Amino acid sequence: MQNGFKKLLVDIFNLVYKVIYGYTRWVLAVVILIICAQVVCRNVLHTNIRWNQEVALLLTIWMAFLGIAIGAEKGLHIGVELFYDGFPRPVKRVVDRMNRVITLLVGVFFTYYGVRMVLSTMDSKLPVTKLPASLMYIMIPVSGVCIIYFTLLDILGLKEYKKTDTAPGQDRKEGQE
């Protein structure tokens, strides 16, 4: 039963991760296309795309916050390894646990305050597109939930079974495909 539950969690993890990672890549491609179209319109056609800046900013914010979640999953957050490498193994374990708790708290912070920000901006509209201003902030709580989820899997020891790529410069652990 426990192995079935682990497999289910890992399968959900892999699906969530693939969706976030794929979505982030597509958003980056769309932002690049929007900016290129604006450059062509401005310099060749001598016209302007009114909505380009607003939409590019919106998508960039979305991509940034989902990138934070991906970075948290891959352990790419800022770390000071100069001191860490000199610590004895038991101290490293304590620091690693503290790191996971802090990452979890960041996810809770993003989720709680992100939801508050989305709710407080629901009645506002973006000036050009007239979209709800809450769309600008919707990825903050989504990122927070993903950070919480990825960190909990790490705390539960299920991260080693994931099937996502490792971060550049990191070795694959045994058991990963």
What digits encode the pLDDT tens for the residues 4-48? 777 787 788 788 778 888 888 888 888 899 899 989 988 888 888
* pLDDT recorded at residue 99: 87
Confidence of residue 115 (pLDDT cuts 50, 70, 90): very high
Query: Which residues have C-beta within 8 Å of that of residue 43, sequence separation ≥ 6?
Result: none
- Only one residue has tokens 């001598």, namely 46
Cα separation, 116 vs 146, whole angstroms? 17
Cα separation, 79 vs 136, whole angstroms? 29
Give mean pLDDT, residues 150-168. Answer: 68
Confidence of residue 176 (pLDDT cuts 50, 70, 90): very low
* pLDDT recorded at residue 142: 92
Confidence of residue 149 (pLDDT cuts 50, 70, 90): confident
Q: Which tops the pLDDT comparison, 165 or 14?
A: 14
Cα separation, 152 vs 158, whole angstroms? 9
Q: Look over the chain and give the mean of its residue pLDDT values, rounded to a whole number.
A: 82
Q: Which tops the pLDDT comparison, 144 or 67?
A: 144
Q: Which tops the pLDDT comparison, 36 or 153?
A: 36
Q: Which tops the pLDDT comparison, 125 or 15?
A: 125
This prediction has a pTM of: 0.76
Q: Do 24 and 68 meet the contact criterion of CB atoms below 8 Å apart? A: no
Phi-psi region of 87 (alpha: psi -120 to 50; beta: other; left: phi over 0): beta
